[in-house]
């Protein structure tokens, strides 16, 4: 493979550099909320400090996509209940007058929209490095690391890397995506030097274990692996995208570049659509993934080979499982293996149970009973319809999702599926995904 020099395509740097105006406006907003937070914090003797975080504070935000985090550092001596109470009270007080609400990570925190910008007010314990008491305690150390160890030029590299990752669809730490976080991008640039060096690292990536492509220790806590929540598929897609980019670096990679779409295959896709109750995206996607995994297992055990599966969701009340089958119709007869004839009781039971129905009963070379019988369900769509009508509830996926499917799930394929996708953007996106090549797999 020939790789081009460190060239960044014309326009990419501009695309990834916020304007002076944006920076100034954000700085004013941050200062305003930070000041209010400090005042609110001062009312509680347990507060120790208020520090700024998020991509804005670190100087690694992309235009229009700044995160503003305000960390309220609390005494490590207080218990969890008090920790949460003080954290939320400070957050609410500081964002009074703005649309705001309670969000949940390991602990609850306050999210508010201030002058068009999302601001998070997050409590953490004021601890020494390594003495972590809550998940947020590392964050001020992350901020410090990025601010002091990355040069201004490298911060641009982080922004290029983030934009590139977004463009090729591997950015985002939520469970739906299982992709790279902003902090992972910062650590990668810190480790490899520049945007292009990060990509160069990935094109020659070596797997760290037979079932694990990537490991990425947190410099602030070496025992923590930042790649733990990144799927192998995402890493593999970054590898392929990096190879394609270094071969021919174009601005399109930063703007949104996907693999070739194969619309002809849409006619092969079978979907199960259903509505369900709302929950947080993390919980919803966890349940959807778990259920899809069980469903795939059932489909395969029934003899239908699957090519590819996908999940689509509006992230609120509607979702769909999409299946691109390799085999959508099985042979009308099936062979079943019984016990060896010398297992007398089992053999007699097998014969009593099956020989009436069988189309042929014989013994194989090993002395095992074998039968040919008519298959109950030849078509995958029939199998899925039966699953949806009730079997799905017993199959061991998420009870919430299984119950929702048993209640209102529909198996659709062909034109009805395409028509539904025309009305629903999220379904259309899923349908496009499942029939699209992975970026970087096409020749040239």
Tell me which residues touch a second copy (CB under 8 A).
Answer: 1, 203-207, 211, 213, 231-233, 235-237, 239-240, 259, 262, 264-265, 268, 305, 307-308, 324-331, 333-335, 340-342, 344, 348, 351-352, 355-356, 358-370, 372, 435-438, 441-443
Give Cα 375 distance to the centre of its chain.
38
Strands 270-275 and 221-225: unpaired
Q: What's the token pair of residue 269?
A: 């896709």
Burial of 138 (C-beta count, 10 Å sphere; 0-12/13-18/19+): buried
CA-nearest of 288, 326, 308 to 434 is 308
Nearer residue to a second copy within complex by CB, 280 or 442: 442
CA-nearest of 291, 277, 305, 283 to 394 is 291
Supply the minimum distance, in Å, between the C-beta of residue 431 and a second copy: 13
* Whole-number Å distance between alpha carbons of 236 and 414: 31
Supply the minimum distance, in Å, between the C-beta of residue 239 and a second copy: 5
Nearer residue to a second copy within complex by CB, 11 or 367: 367
- Note whether 299 and 292 are within 8 A (CB): no
* Whole-number Å distance between alpha carbons of 173 and 281: 12
* Helix/strand/coil for 116: coil
Roughly what angle, to the nearest 10 degrees, separates helices 281-301 and 380-388?
130
Nearer residue to a second copy within complex by CB, 277 or 353: 353
Buried b (16+ CB within 10 A) or exposed e, 386-405: ebbeeebbeeebbebbbebb
Question: What radius of gyration, in Å, describes the C-alpha atoms of the chain?
Answer: 27
Supply the minimum distance, in Å, between the C-beta of residue 203 and a second copy: 7
Q: Which contiguous run of DSSP H or E holds residue 86?
A: helix 80-94
Q: What is the 3-state secondary structure (H, E, C) of 13-48?
A: HHHCCCCHHHHHHHHHHHHHHHHHHHHHHHCCCCEE
**DSSP code of residue 266:** G
Nearer residue to a second copy within complex by CB, 71 or 164: 164
Q: What's the token pair of residue 346?
A: 């089992």
CA-angle at 119, arms to 116 and 122, nearest 5°: 170
Supply the minimum distance, in Å, between the C-beta of residue 247 and a second copy: 11
Q: Which contiguous run of DSSP H or E holds residue 400?
A: helix 399-408
Nearer residue to a second copy within complex by CB, 15 or 351: 351
Supply the minimum distance, in Å, between the C-beta of residue 345 and a second copy: 10
Supply the minimum distance, in Å, between the C-beta of residue 133 and a second copy: 35
**How many C-beta atoms surround the C-beta of residue 310 within 10 A?**
19
Nearer residue to a second copy within complex by CB, 70 or 384: 384
Supply the minimum distance, in Å, between the C-beta of residue 348 and a second copy: 7
Supply the minimum distance, in Å, between the C-beta of residue 301 and a second copy: 15
Nearer residue to a second copy within complex by CB, 96 or 204: 204
Nearer residue to a second copy within complex by CB, 141 or 202: 202
Residue labelled with tokens 């299984």: 402
Supply the minimum distance, in Å, between the C-beta of residue 173 and a second copy: 18
Supply the minimum distance, in Å, between the C-beta of residue 370 and a second copy: 8
Supply the minimum distance, in Å, between the C-beta of residue 436 and a second copy: 8
Q: What's the token pair of residue 238?
A: 């970054």
Nearer residue to a second copy within complex by CB, 143 or 369: 369
Nearer residue to a second copy within complex by CB, 151 or 264: 264
Nearer residue to a second copy within complex by CB, 411 or 435: 435
Burial of 27 (C-beta count, 10 Å sphere; 0-12/13-18/19+): exposed
């Amino acid at each position: 493979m020939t790789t081009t020099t460190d060239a960044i395509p014309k326009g990419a740097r501009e695309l990834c550099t916020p304007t002076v105006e944006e920076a100034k406006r954000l700085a004013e907003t941050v200062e305003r909320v930070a000041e209010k937070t400090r005042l609110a914090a001062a009312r509680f003797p347990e507060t120790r400090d208020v520090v700024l975080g998020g991509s804005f504070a670190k100087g690694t935000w992309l235009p229009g996509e700044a995160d503003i985090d305000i960390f309220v550092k609390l005494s490590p001596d207080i218990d969890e209940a008090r920790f949460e109470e003080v954290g939320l009270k400070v957050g609410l007080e500081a964002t009074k007058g703005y649309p705001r609400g309670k969000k949940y990570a390991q602990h609850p925190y306050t999210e508010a929209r201030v002058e068009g910008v999302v601001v998070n007010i997050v409590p953490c314990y004021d601890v020494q490095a390594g003495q972590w008491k809550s998940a947020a305690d590392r964050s001020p150390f992350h901020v410090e690391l990025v601010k002091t160890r990355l040069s201004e030029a490298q911060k641009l590299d982080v922004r290029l890397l983030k934009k590139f990752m977004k463009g090729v669809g591997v950015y985002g730490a939520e469970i739906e995506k299982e992709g790279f976080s902003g902090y992972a991008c910062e650590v990668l640039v810190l480790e490899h030097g520049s945007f292009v060096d990060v990509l160069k690292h990935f094109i020659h990536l070596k797997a760290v274990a037979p079932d694990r492509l990537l490991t990425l220790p947190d410099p602030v806590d070496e025992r923590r692996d930042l790649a733990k929540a990144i799927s192998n598929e995402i890493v593999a897609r970054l590898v392929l995208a990096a190879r394609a980019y270094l071969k021919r670096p174009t601005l399109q990679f930063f703007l949104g570049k996907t693999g070739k779409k194969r619309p002809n295959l849409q006619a092969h896709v079978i979907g199960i659509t259903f509505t369900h109750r709302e929950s947080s995206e993390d919980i919803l996607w966890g349940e959807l993934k778990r259920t899809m995994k069980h469903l795939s297992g059932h489909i395969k055990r029934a003899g239908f080979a699957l090519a590819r599966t996908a999940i689509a969701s509006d992230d609120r009340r509607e979702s769909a499982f999409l299946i691109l089958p390799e085999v959508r119709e099985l042979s009308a007869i099936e062979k079943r293996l019984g016990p060896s004839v010398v297992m007398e009781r089992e053999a007699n039971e097998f014969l009593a149970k099956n020989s009436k129905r069988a189309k042929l009963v014989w013994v194989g070379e090993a002395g095992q009973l074998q039968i040919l019988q008519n298959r109950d369900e030849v078509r995958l769509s029939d199998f899925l319809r039966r699953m949806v009508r009730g079997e799905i509830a017993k199959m061991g996926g998420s009870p919430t999702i299984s119950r929702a499917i048993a209640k209102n799930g529909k198996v659709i394929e062909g034109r009805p599926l395409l028509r539904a996708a025309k009305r629903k953007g999220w379904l259309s996106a899923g349908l496009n995904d499942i029939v699209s090549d992975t970026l970087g797999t096409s020749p040239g």
